[in-house]
């Protein structure tokens, strides 16, 4: 604790040779004093400072031998009395401040002793600074885990939406596949009917060929029989006919008549045969074209079926990929039984 006091005063005793001149003409100004007390923590290092400026005014004349002014001497004595009273008041206040400071110092020492004893009983204070870094790391891990969890939830939602889209596309592709298979089955029935019709037409053509051969043979037999009959009748005519008739001319006419009839029959049979052949040929050509068209349609439908199966496999792989990717297992709420049934049925 430090104590400082500054008092500026001026005293003078009038009379005889003991007079001390003042550096300036002092005047007493009441109330021109100040005091301050500063105390540190626990009362240690307390500092009290008191400063006072007092002036005593007098009406001393310009020279020592000029005489003494009675009124000025009276005012000087009154100023000194006031200064003493002020100093006494300040001393009392200072004493009270010092008592207060001593009591605070005692209380501070007592409190420090209690704190020291409490710390000695409690033991050394534990250093928690390493745990702060650990807590900061754990907070960072929790934040990172929260971010990762949010990302996983977002990925799960995206995968669920993608699975729904794939399911809808799978159902549409499955419907297309079923319709294509139905068309293929219908075309297979058409192909079977066409094959049966073709076999029937081939059998009919064979029967017509046999009939044509039989007709040609019968026609040739008829021609031979007629020629033999004509030859026999010519001999008879030569024998029985009168001499006036020209048998050669008659035979020529009969031969020409039979030849014309045979030619006509041959032409009619040939025309009928050609018409039947052309009709059956046109029918066979038409059936062959329909068969080729059906084969082309079947081939195209098979290609479409293969492309749809490839696309279906790709869609299945795309559905399996989000489930198998990453170290986390993603659970999709999808109708698994429907997928299994479709896979077992059409895989």
- Shared domain for 177 and 301, answered yes or no, is yes
Q: How many CB atoms lie within 10 A of CB 170?
A: 19
Q: Which domain holds residue 201?
A: 150-346
- Shared domain for 105 and 217, answered yes or no, is no
136 lies in some domain: no
- Shared domain for 77 and 18, answered yes or no, is yes
130 lies in some domain: no
- Give the total number of structural domains in the chain: 2
Q: In the numeric block, which tokens belong to residue 272?
A: 């009928």
61 lies in some domain: yes
- Shared domain for 83 and 200, answered yes or no, is no
- Shared domain for 97 and 186, answered yes or no, is no
289 lies in some domain: yes
Integer Cα distance of 35 and 95 in angstroms = 12
111 lies in some domain: yes
Q: Buried b vs exposed e over 189-208: b needs ≥16 C-beta within 10 Å?
A: ebbeebeeebeeeeeebeeb
**pLDDT tens by residue, the chain, 347 residues:** 444 443 333 343 333 333 333 333 334 334 444 444 444 434 344 444 444 433 333 333 444 444 444 445 555 666 778 888 888 999 999 999 999 999 999 999 999 999 888 878 876 667 777 888 889 999 999 999 999 999 999 999 999 999 999 999 999 899 998 988 888 888 888 888 888 988 988 888 888 888 888 888 888 888 888 888 777 664 444 445 455 556 677 777 887 887 888 788 878 878 887 887 788 788 888 878 888 887 887 888 888 888 887 877 887 777 676 555 544 444 444 445 555 555 555 44
- Shared domain for 184 and 274, answered yes or no, is yes
- Shared domain for 213 and 90, answered yes or no, is no
pLDDT for the residue numbered 231: 74
- Shared domain for 268 and 339, answered yes or no, is yes
Last residue of a domain, one of 75, 105, 122: 122
- Shared domain for 252 and 336, answered yes or no, is yes
pLDDT for the residue numbered 161: 93
Tell me, yes or no, if the pTM score tops 0.85.
no
321: CATH: 1.10.287
- Shared domain for 230 and 161, answered yes or no, is yes
Q: Which residues contact 136 (CB under 8 A, 6 or more apart)?
A: none
pLDDT for the residue numbered 323: 52
144 lies in some domain: no
- Shared domain for 262 and 338, answered yes or no, is yes
Integer Cα distance of 305 and 183 in angstroms = 11
Q: Buried b vs exposed e over 232-252: b needs ≥16 C-beta within 10 Å?
A: eebeebeeeeeeeeeeeeebe
62 lies in some domain: yes
Q: Is the dihedral of CA 56, 59, 62, 66 positive or negative?
A: negative
238 lies in some domain: yes
- Shared domain for 171 and 117, answered yes or no, is no
From residue 159, give the alpha-carbon distance in Å to each of 150, 295, 320, 331. Answer: 14, 43, 10, 9
Q: Of 126, 15, 31, 3, whose CA–CA distance to 76 is shortest?
A: 15
pLDDT for the residue numbered 160: 92
């Amino acid at each position: 604790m430090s104590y400082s006091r500054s008092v500026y005063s001026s005293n003078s005793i009038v009379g005889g040779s003991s007079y001390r001149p003042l550096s300036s003409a002092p005047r007493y100004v009441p109330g021109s004093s100040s005091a301050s007390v500063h105390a540190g923590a626990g009362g240690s290092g307390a500092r009290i400072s008191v400063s006072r400026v007092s002036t005593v005014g007098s009406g001393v004349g310009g020279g020592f031998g000029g005489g003494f002014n009675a009124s000025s001497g009276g005012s000087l004595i009154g100023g000194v009395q006031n200064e003493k009273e002020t100093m006494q008041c300040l001393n009392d206040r200072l004493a009270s401040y010092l008592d207060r400071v001593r009591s605070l110092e005692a209380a501070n020492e007592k409190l420090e002793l209690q704190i020291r004893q409490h710390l000695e009983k409690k033991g050394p204070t534990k250093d928690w600074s390493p745990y702060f870094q650990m807590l900061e790391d754990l907070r960072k891990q929790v934040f990172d885990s929260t971010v990762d969890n949010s990302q996983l939830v977002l990925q799960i939602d995206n995968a669920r939406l993608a699975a729904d889209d794939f399911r809808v596309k799978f159902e549409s592709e499955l419907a297309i596949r079923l319709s294509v298979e139905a068309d293929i089955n219908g075309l297979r029935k058409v192909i079977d009917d066409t094959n049966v019709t073709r076999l029937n037409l081939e059998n009919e053509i064979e029967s017509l060929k046999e009939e044509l051969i039989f007709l040609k043979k019968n026609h040739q037999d008829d021609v031979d029989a007629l020629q033999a009959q004509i030859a026999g009748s010519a001999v008879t005519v030569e024998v029985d006919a009168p001499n006036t008739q020209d048998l050669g001319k008659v035979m020529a006419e009969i031969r020409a008549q039979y030849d014309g009839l045979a030619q006509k029959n041959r032409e009619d049979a040939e025309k009928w045969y050609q018409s039947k052949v052309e009709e059956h040929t046109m029918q066979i050509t038409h059936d062959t074209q329909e068969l080729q068209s059906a084969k082309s349609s079947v081939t195209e439908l098979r290609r479409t079926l293969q492309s749809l199966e490839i696309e279906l496999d790709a869609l299945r792989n795309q559905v399996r990929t989000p489930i198998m990717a990453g170290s986390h297992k993603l659970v999709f709420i999808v109708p698994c039984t429907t997928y299994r049934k479709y896979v077992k049925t059409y895989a």
